[in-house]
Amino acid sequence: MTNYGLVIDQERCIGCQACAVSCKQENNVPMGQYWNRVLTEGGDKIDTPAGGYPEDGQEGSLDMKYQPTACQHCENAPCVKVCPVNATYTRDDGIVEIDYDKCIGCRYCMAACPYNARVFNWDEPEHMPEEGTGDVSARPQGVVEKCTFCSHRVDEGLDPACVVNCPADARIFGDLDEETSTVSKYIDKYETNQLLEDRGTNPKTHYIRGEMSPGRPQTSDKLESELDDVTPFSDGADDVPSDPDGSGGDGASGGHHSIDDDAVPHVPSVKSGGAD
Ligand code: SF4
Ligand code: SF4
């Protein structure tokens, strides 16, 4: 059975917030609300690094990572369990959704979610521009809303908007139960972790961290299921970029992120429109 999940490669994420903005546009997310947030791991304040300058690689050198965070579409979702009117439910394909007509705004789900993934419309939601760019209706005052993995797009065979609009190819979406899918291959190949694994929620967003992923090739705006003809990764030493003379290379053959010759550049599939 299909079981959708997401891989986020933190070695690639550049903290540009394109995923957060495209999510707002695609899903008509109101002013002041985010379904997808990009957190920083580093210094004491937001967007500041830990460590000091300038010794690269020395103890105390600058260090900062980004952690995009949204609903994790937990396999064992506490929000689903606590909803007293079954407004929050899990689809057959594993996506956790909310029936906004059923939601009574009790916010039990917000209290139960350990990932702070849900937002509540305290007031009549404001939108700027008035409508988002995707085909998603605005939610009314008094309901809880959150990331849907862009289920309206998935139902049409498209990747979520955050995935196709990530300029760093840091996000991969696909079927976790299909062992030949790209997400399954990456989870098998690279060292990954899930957030708050000890809570028993079994989140379906997996994060790649550490030094495991620099050789991962650029993909494309194709569906991951269409990527079988794009070699997902090579087997050995070529995975780790080499720069013996310290010149930095030309960026095409020995650069930090090797680019597959067949890869197609990103073409955002969100229709043009104003920004939120
Ligand atoms: S769009 Fe990609 S690179 Fe930019 S913040 Fe989101 S995950 Fe990171
Ligand atoms: S991340 Fe939170 S809102 Fe999403 S499925 Fe898990 S418990 Fe529910």
Do 217 and 233 form a contact (C-beta atoms < 8 A)? yes
Q: Is the pLDDT reported for residue 213 higher than 70?
A: no
- The whole-model pTM stands at 0.75
Ligand 1 atom nearest the C-alpha of 15 is 5
Q: For the residues 254-272, what does the mean pLDDT come to? A: 30
pLDDT higher at 262 or 127: 127
For residue 245, pLDDT over 50 is answered with no
**Is the four-CA dihedral 1, 74, 21, 129 of positive or negative sign?**
positive
Which of helix, strand or coil describes residue 19? Answer: helix
pLDDT at 263: 34
> What pLDDT band is residue 130 in, cutting at 50, 70 and 90?
low
> Residue 259: pLDDT above 80?
no
Say which ligand is closest to the CA of 110: 2
Q: 166 CB under 6 A from ligand 1?
A: yes
Per-residue pLDDT at 274: 33
Contact 33, 138 (CB under 8 A): no
- Tell me the C-alpha distance between 234 and 232, whole Å: 7
DSSP string computed for 224-263: GGGGGGS-----SGGGS---TTSS---SSSSSSS---TTP
Per-residue pLDDT band for 264 (boundaries 50, 70, 90) equals: very low
* 66-88 confidence digits (pLDDT tens): 899 999 999 999 999 999 999 99
Question: Residue 248 above 50 pLDDT?
Answer: no
- pLDDT (tens digit, 9 = 90+) per residue, 5-56? 999 999 889 999 999 999 999 999 999 999 999 988 887 877 788 877 766 5
The finding on whether 164 has its CB within 6 A of some atom of ligand 1 is no
- Of the candidates 213, 22, 245, the residue with the CA atom closest to the CA atom of residue 133: 22
Pocket of ligand 2 (CB under 6 A): 71-74, 77-79, 96, 113, 115, 117-118, 146, 201
